[in-house]
Amino acid sequence: VNCRPGTFLDLISMQNCNLTNLPENYSMRFYLYHYLVNPEMIQIAELPHSHKVIGYVMSRMQERNNIQKEPPYGGITSVSILRTYRKMGIAHRLMRCAHRAMGEIYGAEYVSLHVRETNTAAKHLYLKTMGYHLHEPHIEYYADGETAYELHCSTKREL
């Protein structure tokens, strides 16, 4: 499996991956906007011969309310790996690339994300494998009423 930065040609494959795997879906306009604003912030996993896209991570730099007081920080918008290719370390590889891009290109001090309380696989990846910590729970964050855990991780951390 190859991991590489995504381009706008990957956006339809990413949308397919997202629709198959997650209840949080986005319009093509959102993907295009995300790509234009954060061109280095999409990481793709693809099969070497067919170039089939089997996973992605979308990240972004977050808007800050107070530039003097808040350090630059990044956010993970969405991560998804097609079912057949899970538990092979691919999400971890993509997340490491995303952290590096945010830390080195944009000087992000830490990365923030939201994950569903019941998402065992994603919580293992973030909390156990990558060393994210719980920043704050958000009750009824998702449209169906589920709680989100807001997790943070320093970009200085060895991943």
d(CA 46, CA 90): 10
The correct pick among 13, 38, 59, 78 for binding ligand ACO (CB under 6 A) is: 78
First to last CA, the chain: 19
103/114 with CB nearer ligand ACO: 114
The site string for ligand ACO over 12-51 (x = CB under 6 A, - otherwise) reads: ---------xx-----------------------------
The residue to which tokens 């011969």 are assigned: 49
Task: Quote the least distance from Cβ 7 to ligand ACO, whole Å.
Answer: 21
90 binds ligand ACO (CB under 6 A): yes
From 6-14, 27-35, 77-85, 131-139, span contacting ligand ACO (CB under 6 A):
77-85
Give the number of other Cβ atoms within 10 Å of residue 32's Cβ. Answer: 12
d(CA 139, CA 122): 18
d(CA 35, CA 38): 5
Task: Quote the least distance from Cβ 23 to ligand ACO, whole Å.
Answer: 9
102 binds ligand ACO (CB under 6 A): no
The correct pick among 15, 112, 119, 147 for binding ligand ACO (CB under 6 A) is: 119
Exposed e or buried b for every residue in 93-124, given b needs 16+ CB within 10 A?
A: bbbbbbbebbbeebebebbbbbbbeeeeebbe
The correct pick among 14, 97, 98, 125 for binding ligand ACO (CB under 6 A) is: 125
d(CA 42, CA 105): 13
Contacts with ligand ACO by CB under 6 A lie at 21-22, 76, 78-81, 86-92, 113, 115, 119-122, 124-125, 128-129
